[in-house]
Structure formats: structure tokens, C-alpha cells
Amino acid sequence: EVQLVESGGGLVQPGGSLRLSCAASGFTISSYWMTWVRQAPGKGLEWVGNIKQDGSEKYYVDSVKGRFTISRDNAKNSLYLQMNSLRAEDTAVYYCARQTLVTPSTPDYWGQGTLVTVTS
Amino acid sequence: DIQMTQSPSSLSASVGDRVTITCRASQSISFYLNWYRQKPGQAPNLLIYAASSLQSGVPSRFSGSGSGTDFTLTISSLQPEDFATYYCQQSYSMPTFGQGTKVEIK
């Protein structure tokens, strides 16, 4: 069974940093693009970014460029999101997701999400 | 960025009803359009990819159509578990989502 489990969320002050992790099981992430998507409380979905199978390509939404970094450790079957210079508007549930092999930028399996709250 | 606009933003329906949700892109996205269902407190669930392909394990009451800028998600007979929020998402360029359509019980 495919499973994705995020961890690392919590309360952080503006300007602070946080590192999210996503542990995958039931499949090998080295075969898939992986993705982070976020959802502010009571709001819609926002694509954060994604990373190619070997980590050689990464893409980010403009609002996080230069502040967030996606990485992966295929040996540990894990995905990461390093978040720096956090702002109040980064408050959201962060989901990691696996992309399909069939069509680009299409998450087919999602984790349950981890809540990040940026507040003073 | 490509803007995705869903209509309606919300609707009320009964079990067994046929429901249609539309999604319009601000420019042509060919068939690179996906649909998700999100139940309260849960992660989104992929229903339709590439405009009209049914994701494995998704009931056949869900169908998608369209290409270019205009797309439709149809639920042929609404079930209790379908009262949720639905999102479209374009995968033609940097992905963006519609604002969501909340389907409520009438």
C-alpha cells in the first residue's frame, strides 16, 4: 500500500525556519517526481514545488522561490522541504505527494499533511 | 501564471442528482487538466487526469470532458461520500488550482 507520512510541522515565528519531512512506503520514490502542495486554513490548494527523480530539476511557485528548498534522499525513501524566512502567509497544511508516471505535475497519492503555523 | 476559474463556487444537491462543475483556464492548456475531491479534514483525492481519464479505483459515476480552455466534471448520481469540495488543476505549466466548488446536501 502506498503511504506518505509528513512530519516536522509546528509553530514558528516570522523569519524563522522549519524543515518538513515526508516518509514514503509501499513504493520507491526514486522512480517518481515528488511534490509539495499547501493549503492555508479554510482556503484552496497551492502548488509549492516539485523535484525530479534524481533531484536534478526543481521547480517552485514564485511566492516561495529563494526561501524554500525541496530535496530528496532516495536511499531513505524520503522527501524534504526546507523553509526559511517564513512569513505569516506561509501558514498552511503542507502535503507531500507522488506524481503519476502518466501525465506531468499530477499528484496521485497524498500524505495526510502537516500544519505549519507562522505567528509571533 | 495560468488562472483557473471554477463555477459554481458552491451548490446544493441531493443523493442521486446529476452534478456538473465547470473549470475555465485563462489560456489554452490542451488536455492538461485534473480533478480532485477533498473531503473535510482529508487530503485531496485524484479523480480525473488529462481531462477525461478516470484514475484507477475511482467510481465510474465520475467523468470529465473538455480541452483547450473549458472543462467539465460530471457526477452522474451523487452519493453521500461525494459531498465535498472539488478542485480542478492545470498541469500544462507551473501548476495552479481552481478556487474550489463545495457540494453540499440540499
Nearest to A20 by CA among A95, A98, A119: A95
- Decide if A21 contacts A7 (C-beta within 8 A): yes
Q: Can you tell me the mean pLDDT for B58-67? A: 98
* B62 min Cα distance to partner chain A (Å): 16
> Quick one: CA torsion of A26, A28, A29, A31, rounded to 10 degrees?
-130
A2, burial (CB in 10 Å: exposed 0-12, middle 13-18, buried 19+): exposed
Percent of chain B, pLDDT > 70? Answer: 100
| Chain B contact present for A113, CB below 8 A | yes
Task: Give the pLDDT of residue A95.
Answer: 98
- The number of C-alpha atoms within 13 Å of B6 and in the hemisphere containing its C-beta is 26
Q: Which of residues 23-52 of A touch B (CB under 8 A)?
A: 37, 44-47
Q: Across all residues in chain A, what is the average pLDDT? A: 97
- pLDDT tens-digit readout, A60-100: 999 999 999 999 999 999 999 999 999 999 999 999 999 99
- pLDDT tens-digit readout, A8-41: 999 999 999 999 999 999 999 999 999 999 999 9
Task: Give the pLDDT of residue A62.
Answer: 97
For chain B, the maximum distance between any two Cα atoms, rounded to a whole number of angstroms, is 37
Asked if the Cβ–Cβ distance from B50 to A103 is below 8 Å, we say yes
Q: Can you tell me the mean pLDDT for B63-76? A: 98
Q: How far apart are CA A24 and CA B43, in angstroms?
A: 16
Q: How far apart are CA B76 and CA B26, in angstroms?
A: 27
Q: Can you tell me the mean pLDDT for A94-109? A: 95
